[in-house]
């Protein structure tokens, strides 16, 4: 038995676990605190990510049924992104009409669950990576499509709801 492989296995899980724990610690501190919401900037991150996914799919396109899996992942990501967007609280200041958003604990737990799914899929990807068959590339393509749907539809839901709340606040003030 090779003694050198055991520590690397622990490090493989310990380092990402520690990073995720730190990020969650800082995110938990901001749960319940309102942050300014800028409607005019909601489109920027999904557009950049869509361009990145588009470039990756253009330079190394998925083959055959992988396209169907990517479309399915995009749909699942969209549904989950919409759900996470609904879990975020949006408020409008009645006087200034300034928008703010508050991440709910449920939204944060949702992200933690997605991270757990990501780790599980990473394990599956390593087990499915058969030399010469590109299993890892398939999983990566599917996860990129999922992330695109998740990110875009979370922002779309937040944007639509924020616009509706803002219009309602303006009507009530007039």
Please write the tens of the pLDDT for every residue from 109-141.
Answer: 766 676 666 666 666 666 665 454 567 678 778
* Four-residue CA torsion sign, 116, 106, 102, 81: positive
The helix/strand/coil state of 99 is: strand
8 Å CB contact between 106 and 87:
yes
The domain locations on the chain are 1-30, 34-173
Q: Is the pLDDT of residue 159 over 90?
A: yes
Check residue 125 and give its pLDDT: 61
pTM for the model stands at 0.71
Q: For residues 11 and 82, what is the distance between their CA atoms, to the nearest angstrom? A: 35
Please write the tens of the pLDDT for every residue from 69-123.
Answer: 999 999 999 999 999 899 888 999 888 889 998 877 776 676 667 666 666 666 6
Check residue 1 and give its pLDDT: 46
Q: For residues 5 and 96, what is the distance between their CA atoms, to the nearest angstrom? A: 60
Residue 163 makes CB contacts below 8 A (sequence gap 6+) with 39
Q: Is the pLDDT of residue 59 over 70?
A: yes
What mean pLDDT value characterizes the chain? 81
Residue 105 makes CB contacts below 8 A (sequence gap 6+) with 31, 32
8 Å CB contact between 159 and 85:
no
Taking Cα atoms as reference points, which of 170, 162, 172 lies closest to residue 36? Answer: 162
């Amino acid at each position: 038995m090779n003694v050198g492989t055991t520590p690397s296995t622990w490090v493989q899980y310990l380092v990402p676990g520690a990073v995720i724990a730190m990020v969650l610690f800082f995110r938990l501190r901001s749960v319940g605190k309102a942050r300014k919401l800028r409607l005019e900037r909601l489109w920027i991150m999904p557009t950049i990510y869509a361009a990145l996914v588009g470039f990756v799919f253009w330079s190394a396109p998925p083959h055959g049924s992988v396209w169907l899996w990517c479309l399915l992942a995009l749909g699942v990501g969209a549904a989950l992104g919409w759900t996470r967007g609904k879990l975020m609280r949006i408020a409008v200041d009645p006087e200034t009409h300034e928008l703010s958003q508050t991440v709910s604990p449920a939204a944060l737990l949702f992200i933690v669950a997605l991270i757990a799914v990501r780790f599980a899929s990473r394990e599956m990807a390593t087990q499915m990576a058969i030399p010469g068959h590109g299993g890892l590339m398939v999983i990566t393509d599917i996860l990129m499509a999922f992330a695109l749907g998740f990110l875009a539809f979370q922002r779309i839901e937040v944007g639509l709801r924020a616009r509706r709340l803002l219009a309602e606040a303006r009507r009530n003030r007039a």
